[in-house]
Amino acid sequence: QVERHVNVPFSPLAKKNKFSGLRGGNNNASTRILMNPATMIGGYAQFSYYTNYWGPSPSERDHGVIIRKMPLGKEKKPIYQEKDLDKVPTGERE
Contacts of 58 (CB under 8 A, 6+ apart): 50
Instruction: Give me the count of residues in the chain.
Output: 94
- The pLDDT tens digits of the residues spanning 34-55 come to 666 666 666 555 555 555 555 5
Cα 23 to Cα 4, 10, 20, 34, 86, distances in angstroms: 10, 6, 8, 16, 54
Q: Among the residues of 18-71, which ranges form H helices?
A: 37-40
Q: What is the pLDDT of residue 39?
A: 60
Q: What is the pLDDT of residue 68?
A: 72
Mean pLDDT, range 55-82, rounded to an integer: 70
pTM of the model: 0.24
